[in-house]
A and B are shown apart, each in its own frame.
Chain A
Amino acid sequence: METAIQLSEVTKQYAAKNAVDHISFTIGKGEIVSILGPNGAGKTTTISMMLGLKNPTSGSIQILGRSPSERKVKQEIGAMLQEVSVMDTVKVSELIQLFRSYYDKSLPYEHLLKLSGLERDAEIMATSLSGGQKRRLGFALAMAGDPSVLFLDEPTVGMDVTSRSEFWETIRLLKDAGKTIILTTHYLEEADRLSDRIIMMNHGKIVADGTPEEIKNRLTVKYVSVTADNSLELGTLQSIPGVTEVERVGEHVRLYGDDTDAILIHLVRQNIAVRDFDIHRGNLDEAFSNLMKEGV
């Protein structure tokens, strides 16, 4: 895969503290990557450095093989910042047209309106848009130059449920069109649904990097829970292949192990006297909170 973004040993220091601490990663063209982490993990600082808004204290950043501050790079990237601010006394349509004029190649105006769902709001003043509509405008401005690399910093904050799923649909279309997309988000479901890859950050460091599946596997526990009479011997359960631990509280028993399917099949085949089967597989929320508990 061709490289779109490369960070090596990037550090950003504020006062004596490293907001971003020696991080390195490579993002290929066409990838959708979510950067996840709690507040203050260094996500926004990392994005700001990739956009050339902040300079790293040390380390190097390359976007499409060039420094982020080069104009050639700026022609190829678009970004929706966390706080979308708009100029006063300017209409939505005028702002979009203005941004189109900045780029050598731009998406047609009508197409941008449609993409951002602002068709009906084009002639109103940008300052009177609601929070969610402002996010849409931010998205239209980010897309104005038909970017091949798109940065979205908390894109769906302030959107209602319908807008959010519409937005996700749009992102998927952009992915199909081969765009490279980097998003930060608080919504774990968003990261899980949209991205090919998740980079988890905490305290300025990368603590996990992989597909949503890999991260869930690594950071969550899986178990089969069953109900068993007290007469059932714990030893019977402990000897099942693949079971790493058994936990018993009254009638409720949890059989921990990576291959929950195999454990379930064994229980059924061996006709072990248990009932109310339930498989627990970790979700990203759990991975996230486990990660934060570890404290790293």
Chain B
Amino acid sequence: MMRAYLAQSKIELLRTFRNRKSIFFTLLMPIIFYFIMSQNGAEKMGGVEWKAYFLISMTAYGLMGSSIFNLSLRLVQERTQGWSHQLKITPLPPSTYFAAKVSVQLLVNLGQIVVMFLVGHFANSVELTAGQWIGAGFWLLLGSVPFLAIGTLLGTMDKVETAQIVNQIVTLGLSFLGGIFYPMSLFPEWLRKFGELTPSYLMGNGAWNILGNQPVDWGGVAILAIYFVLFTGLASYILQKKEVSS
């Protein structure tokens, strides 16, 4: 099944690059936001330069968007338009199909991190040590995994239109609540308690910690893992239920 896995991955990758909407919302928009909002900053956030801090924020924002957007919309489209029926007739195991989708999205996420970091370094002179670049990049990649699960969960919806709207609400909601656009320290106390539990905050926070030479937040890793298991479990439960009723 290696041949099928590779062929499926190639197609998924091609589709991502050909989708201009996805490229715009998940790569260009974060870059534009980054330049607009990193201009007025000599300030520091917890010992981290604002332009470096906000580079992490916008990279996280792009990762959330593309993980949720790419996975959920394609899953809904393929299921509602009968493509998944066509696939079910072939010997391709659903697990191979899904593994290809997820691993390609991880690869795309890695590419996004690299592009954002290059932009930050060369166009906005963000200076970090090699260890910080690699550590922050790795953390962001890891932090994007629960969003793959969220994308899969939203991919169980029945209509592309609804999925699109819910997508936006979830991405924007998690961005604001998770302190991606405004630092969490500016939030009122009661809101901060919620915000600090969002996967978006935890994804950003791990990387901000690395930039500020803070120790790794293992509690955060655990919560991200719980999110992953929760959303994956919920998605497969819903898909199984749909399967039975057909």
A-side residues, CB < 8 A to B, are: 51-54, 71, 74-75, 77-79, 81, 83-90, 94, 97-99, 101-104, 141, 145
Q: Which residues of A contact B78 (CB under 8 A)?
A: 87
Q: Which of B11-19, B190-198, B208-216 sits within the interface?
A: B11-19
Q: Which residues of A contact B14 (CB under 8 A)?
A: 89-90, 94
Q: Are B86 and A88 in contact (CB under 8 A)?
A: no
Q: Which residues of A contact B6 (CB under 8 A)?
A: 101
Q: Contacts A75-B91, A97-B7, A99-B90 hold; do A81 and B15 have CB atoms under 8 A apart?
A: no
Q: Contacts A53-B88, A53-B89, A141-B86 hold; do A89 and B7 have CB atoms under 8 A apart?
A: no
Contact of A54 among B11, B91, B246 (CB under 8 A): B246
Q: Contacts A87-B11, A90-B15 hold; do A103 and B91 have CB atoms under 8 A apart?
A: yes
Q: Are A90 and B83 in contact (CB under 8 A)?
A: no
B3 within 8 A of A: yes
CB distance from A47 to the nearest CB of B (A): 11
Cα–Cα distance between A52 and B85 once the two chains are bound (Å): 10
Closest to B17 in A: A89
Closest to A71 in B: B91
Cα–Cα distance between A53 and B77 once the two chains are bound (Å): 18
Contact of B90 among A88, A97, A102 (CB under 8 A): A102
Contact of B86 among A71, A85, A97, A103 (CB under 8 A): A85
Q: Are B81 and A145 in contact (CB under 8 A)?
A: no
Q: Which residues of B contact A78 (CB under 8 A)?
A: 89
Q: Which residues of A contact B3 (CB under 8 A)?
A: 101
Q: Are B8 and A98 in contact (CB under 8 A)?
A: yes
Cα–Cα distance between A282 and B83 once the two chains are bound (Å): 41
Cα–Cα distance between A51 and B82 once the two chains are bound (Å): 14
List 17 extra interface pairs beyond A81-B89, A94-B14, A97-B7, CB under 8 A. Answer: A52-B88, A53-B85, A53-B88, A74-B90, A74-B91, A75-B91, A81-B85, A84-B82, A88-B15, A89-B14, A90-B15, A101-B4, A101-B6, A102-B4, A102-B90, A103-B91, A141-B86
Q: Which residues of A contact B83 (CB under 8 A)?
A: 85-87
CB distance from B77 to the nearest CB of A (A): 7
Cα–Cα distance between A86 and B15 once the two chains are bound (Å): 13
Closest to A97 in B: B7
Q: Are B89 and A101 in contact (CB under 8 A)?
A: no
11 contacts between A and B (CB under 8 A): A53-B89, A79-B89, A81-B82, A81-B85, A84-B86, A85-B82, A87-B83, A89-B14, A89-B19, A102-B4, A145-B91
Q: Contacts A74-B90, A145-B90, A145-B91 hold; do A98 and B11 have CB atoms under 8 A apart?
A: yes
- Among B14, B19, B83, B89, chain A packs the most CB atoms within 10 A around the CB of B89
Tell me the B44-100 residues at the A interface (CB within 8 Å).
Answer: 77-78, 81-83, 85-86, 88-93
Cα–Cα distance between A87 and B15 once the two chains are bound (Å): 9
Contact of B18 among A81, A83, A89 (CB under 8 A): A89
Q: Which residues of A contact B93 (CB under 8 A)?
A: 71
Contact of A51 among B7, B15, B18, B89 (CB under 8 A): B89
Q: Are B86 and A102 in contact (CB under 8 A)?
A: no
Chain B: interface secondary structure?
Answer: helix
Cα–Cα distance between A78 and B81 once the two chains are bound (Å): 19
Q: Which residues of B contact A104 (CB under 8 A)?
A: 91
Q: Are B11 and A77 in contact (CB under 8 A)?
A: no
Cα–Cα distance between A88 and B91 once the two chains are bound (Å): 22
- Among B77, B91, B93, chain A packs the most CB atoms within 10 A around the CB of B91
Contact of B92 among A79, A81, A90, A102 (CB under 8 A): A102
CB distance from A279 to the nearest CB of B (A): 46
Q: Are A77 and B89 in contact (CB under 8 A)?
A: yes
Closest to A138 in B: B86
Q: Which residues of B contact A79 (CB under 8 A)?
A: 89
Cα–Cα distance between A54 and B243 once the two chains are bound (Å): 9
Closest to B73 in A: A88
Q: Which residues of B contact A51 (CB under 8 A)?
A: 88-89
Cα–Cα distance between A53 and B89 once the two chains are bound (Å): 7
B136-153 Cβ-contact flags toward A at 8 Å (1 or 0):
000000000000000000
Q: Which residues of A contact B81 (CB under 8 A)?
A: 85
Closest to A147 in B: B89
Tell me the B120-142 residues at the A interface (CB within 8 Å).
Answer: none
Cα–Cα distance between A162 and B93 once the two chains are bound (Å): 38
CB distance from B243 to the nearest CB of A (A): 10
Q: Which residues of B contact A101 (CB under 8 A)?
A: 3-4, 6-8
Cα–Cα distance between A83 and B19 once the two chains are bound (Å): 24
Closest to B2 in A: A101
CB distance from B94 to the nearest CB of A (A): 11
Cα–Cα distance between A83 and B82 once the two chains are bound (Å): 7
Q: Which residues of B contact A77 (CB under 8 A)?
A: 89
Cα–Cα distance between A104 and B92 once the two chains are bound (Å): 10
